[in-house]
Amino acid sequence: MAVWFVTGASRGLGAEIARAALASGHSVVAAARDPRTVRAAFPDAGERLLSVALDVTDEAQVQAAVEAGVEAFGRIDVLVNNAGRGLLGAVEEASDAEVRAVYDTNVFGVLTVTRAVLPVLRAQRSGHVVNVSSVGGFVGSAGWGVYASTKFAVEGFSETMALELAPLGIGVTLVEPGYFRTDFLDSSSLHRVTTAVEDYAEGPAGAMRMTAEQVNHGQPGDPVKAGLAIVSAIDSGRAPLRLQLGSDCVASVEAKLVAVQTELDAWREVAVSTDHDDVATPAR
């Protein structure tokens, strides 16, 4: 059985991943800002669960959590970078401090945890890194620009890591969930810009603020099924680079692929009609 290291494991998708891993017979290092919430979530887990305090923006705490996991179980086989922070608002509305706070968790936090765990996986010449991205890491959406940019960043370095780590026996998977019934839209995870620009109120960014309130805890995706799907994919030994979860995610990805194909077709028409020395731009 494997040892899973899961960040943001006290609730939401992180808790369901940890629960599914435990149900499959694995051991879990469940990391959360308050480890007491982890024990409360898994009261019957026994010795196969180690709860550790972890703020992914605190490098010393990250290193201590990883060392505690290795000391308890002797190894780490699967790293799940799940802890995240949201920001809702038009791109222009987001202050520098608000943007940096999201990047500190969603990008630099993921990198910090990954740097701490990879030496363990490299020494073993085996393991898997699971980075929880979002449908917003593949398709931009009004009101989610800054958040989406952090997930686009995760997608970029995860694709590269997949190439770099494959020769060392380490896999990489990006999980791209759509809307799931978790606490992500609560104030505990989702932050809203403090300064709103009136011009955006009646547009798509303003509409998204209303939508986020209306769909909270009524999202179509089942987080229990998502957790099971993620663990099953890793256990299969054939996990893809991208694991897209939820019918809304799949629909959004398919729509973007169609749009990209349309742009490529337009570009080919322009390129064929120009000399090689000319600079051509796709028709739009």
Catalytic site positions: 133, 147, 151
H/E stretch holding 30 reads strand 27-32
CB atoms within 10 A of CB 247: 12
CA 130, 131, 132, 133 torsion: positive or negative? negative
Q: Residues with Cβ < 8 Å from 83, sequence gap 6 or more? A: 7, 8, 14, 31, 54, 56, 105, 109
Say what the alpha-carbon torsion angle 95, 210, 154, 254 is, to the nearest 10 degrees: -140
Q: What's phi and psi for 11, nearest 5 deg?
A: -160, 175
Q: With CA atoms as reference, report the closest residue to 65 among 81, 51, 79.
A: 51
Instruction: Taking each helix axis as running N to C, give the angle between helix 110-124 and helix 145-165, from 0 to 180 degrees, rounded to the nearest 10.
Output: 10
Q: What's phi and psi for 77, nearest 5 deg?
A: -110, -35
